[in-house]
Structure 1
Amino acid sequence: MRASLKRSLVGAALTLAVFGSAVPPVLASPDQQFFPLANYRVGAYASSGVQVWAGMLDYLNYINEVEGGINGVKLVWQECETEWTAEKGIECYERFKNGLDGAPVAIYSPNGAPAAYALSERAEVDKIPLITLGYGRTEATDGTVFPYNFPVMLTFYSEASSLINYIAQREGGFDNLKGKKIATVYHDSAYGRETLGPLKLLAQKS
């Protein structure tokens, strides 16, 4: 658990590497970096979101109070509840995309697959880098498709591939999967159905 939490915080640092204080300041001064914080403490994923965002705020406080910011630049943010839905995720993006009191948005992390799918084209129009950590559109790994979309670590394709590779390893290799069936229970949404493509390709491989 500690290792997983550490990896999560490191990943968060990569995407937000520049966020800080449990009660965000109202104004962003020239010597502060503003980042919007789209979170989900209510809704279908609240059970994980409450803990994740509590830890995130602690981490951001640490950056400001112990490290003195990033290269001396203090971090400031505002939170927006998305409930892990596309609709509210879009609302949060539209609220924050123009920055805070003149301080522009450097990057935006939707922190949810529904919003990531909905914002891919908007972010390109607005020229705001969209960071997706372990979720988001797989085709964004090709920078010519969504040049302002930056998937980090994993995609739904790579996750599906890792699962099948693990099963094959447990069974002694892909040859031992021939004739066997592997069932998948998927989320009936754009991102949930995205796993079906790689699973079909891997089924042909076996």
Structure 2
Amino acid sequence: MLTGIRYLAFAGAAAVGLAGAPVLAQNEQFVPANFYWVGPYAPGGSGFGGGMIDYFAMLNERDGGINGVKLTWEKCETEYNNARGVECYERSKKKGPTGASVIHPLSTGITYSLIEKASADKIPVISLGYGRTDASDGRVFPYIFPLITNYWSQNTAKIKFIGMKEGGMDKLKGKKIVNLYHDSAYG
């Protein structure tokens, strides 16, 4: 199931970027690969970033891109660092013939840092299960796309799971459930 969800997320990210593209015939669409391959979060970032690059390469080779438009990308190491993430965004937003079609920061902190910039630049930001939760309201955040889940829906799922394990939601009455906050945008 998770593989299917990832496929849909990647396809959605590419489609969102292509949907905003000009009607002119184009040979390629630029999608930044601004992820983290080094540092303490590298195991998650390198797998995700590498997987995305492999997926785009496969689409180009197998399908000739998306509707004949080849995907291009460039890696930029964010190190899971907000300032580095903003630097990568600024460097990549005008790359290729179309500029960045979509940004996928893979970091809550970087997402927060890019909300105003990307909205002003009209570049969609994908946040897949992280990022600013209230950005789910597209009327207020028209260029932020929190796909699949956000922190509120994740906490709702946790409480429902605890309720199920306890024998029903009514069994939670009077119990204390702690949501540990660790003083970061992620927590």
* 1:150/1:92 CA distance change after superposition, 3 Å: same
Taking structure 1 as the reference length, the TM-score comes to 0.79
Asked whether 1:80 is paired with 2:93, we answer: no
1:18–1:33 Cα contact (<8 Å) kept: no
1:162 matched residue in structure 2:
157
Greater CA deviation, 57-66 or 10-19?
Answer: 10-19
Whole-angstrom distance in 1 between the partners of 2:52 and 2:90 = 22
What is the one-letter code of the residue matched to 2:40?
Answer: A
Whole-angstrom distance in 2 between the partners of 1:135 and 1:56 = 17
Alignment of 1:129-168 (within 5 A): 129-168=124-163
2:168 matched residue in structure 1:
173
Greater CA deviation, 164-173 or 3-12?
Answer: 3-12
Of 1, 8, 13, the residue aligned with 1:15 is 13
Structure number with higher relative contact order (C-alpha < 8 Å, ≥ 6 residues apart): 2
2:2 matched residue in structure 1:
4
- The size of the alignment, in residue pairs, is 180
Q: CA deviation at 1:182?
A: 2.5
2:105–2:111 Cα contact (<8 Å) kept: yes
Residues 149-180 of structure 1 show CA distances to partners (whole Å, capped at 9, x for unaligned) of: 12111111111111111111111112211232
Q: CA deviation at 1:68?
A: 1.2
Whole-angstrom distance in 1 between the partners of 2:134 and 2:49 = 28
**SS across alignment from 1:33:** strand
Q: CA deviation at 1:6?
A: 4.0
Asked whether 1:115 is paired with 2:110, we answer: yes
1:68 matched residue in structure 2:
64
Whole-angstrom distance in 2 between the partners of 1:113 and 1:59 = 23
Residues 50-87 of structure 1 show CA distances to partners (whole Å, capped at 9, x for unaligned) of: 22223222222210111111011111111111112211
Once superposed, what is the RMSD of the aligned Cα atoms?
2.1
1:54 matched residue in structure 2:
50
1:135–1:155 Cα contact (<8 Å) kept: yes
Any stretches of 5+ residues in structure 2 without a counterpart?
18-24
Bigger-Rg structure (1/2): 1
Sequence identity of aligned pairs in percent?
46
2:16–2:124 Cα contact (<8 Å) kept: no
* 1:108/1:158 CA distance change after superposition, 3 Å: same
Whole-angstrom distance in 2 between the partners of 1:91 and 1:160 = 32
* 1:52/1:150 CA distance change after superposition, 3 Å: closer
Whole-angstrom distance in 2 between the partners of 1:187 and 1:63 = 39
Whole-angstrom distance in 2 between the partners of 1:119 and 1:14 = 20
2:89 matched residue in structure 1:
93
